[in-house]
Amino acid sequence: MKIIRWICLLLVFVLGYQDLLAQKKTKEEKKQEMKEFVERSVKAHTFKIDASIAYPMRGRSISLTGSYSLELKNDSADVYLPYYGRAYNIPYGGGKGLVFKAPVKDVITDFDKGKYTVTFSTSNDEDTFDFVVKIYDGGSANISVTMRNRTAISYSGSLDATGLQ
């Protein structure tokens, strides 16, 4: 009777261990799927980055609670980001800041050591913006924005992977 209990216990252990191995493989598969999704999105110049933290040039980092994002769609940018910093020459009332839709120019994509770097320029009637977007294989991302009439600001967040199922 004891031998049967030991055999059953051993069988349960072996089956449980196989489940753990299957789950680990699933994590690796998910990591590979994310890497491929990042590559497809960046090469197509069609991606959306959800910003979660803002890094002004002066002061502390600021956690963002709204749904702020930068979306690149082939040849246009849809920017909805908060701005914290010093403005030098803006319209009365603060202007649009980093909330606008505009065509992009000079899009350059580079890949180095698990990181894609996408640089592009855009402008609206208030300012000219130079973006440097770094997207990592795991889906995390950083956005740096340099402007002519305001101090620079950076953001961190993640690639919106709703297209990844």
Phi and psi torsions of 56, nearest 5°: -70, 160
Q: Is residue 15 part of a domain?
A: no
- Confidence at 8, pLDDT banded by 50, 70, 90: low
Q: Is residue 99 part of a domain?
A: yes
Q: Is residue 97 part of a domain?
A: yes
Q: How many domains does the chain have?
A: 1
- Confidence at 157, pLDDT banded by 50, 70, 90: very high
Long-range pairs for 1-10 at CB < 8 Å and ≥24 separation? none
Name the residue among 101, 47, 99, 49 with its Cα closest to residue 73: 47
DSSP letters, 6-27, are HHHHHHHHHHHHHHHHHHHHHH
Give the pLDDT confidence score for residue 158 in this predicted structure: 93
For the segment 4-19, the average pLDDT, to the nearest whole number, is: 64
38 Cα distance to chain centroid: 9
Q: Is residue 59 part of a domain?
A: yes
CATH code, 73: 2.40.128.410
Q: Is residue 10 part of a domain?
A: no
Q: Is residue 110 part of a domain?
A: yes
Q: Is residue 6 part of a domain?
A: no
Q: Is residue 46 part of a domain?
A: yes
- Confidence at 63, pLDDT banded by 50, 70, 90: very high
60 lies in which domain range? 40-159
Q: Is the pLDDT of residue 78 over 80?
A: yes
pLDDT digits (tens, 9 = 90+) for 100-149: 999 999 899 999 888 999 999 998 888 899 999 999 998 899 999 999 98
pTM of the predicted model as reported, rounded to 2 decimal places: 0.79
- Confidence at 165, pLDDT banded by 50, 70, 90: low
**Pair 62, 51: CB distance under 8 Å:** no
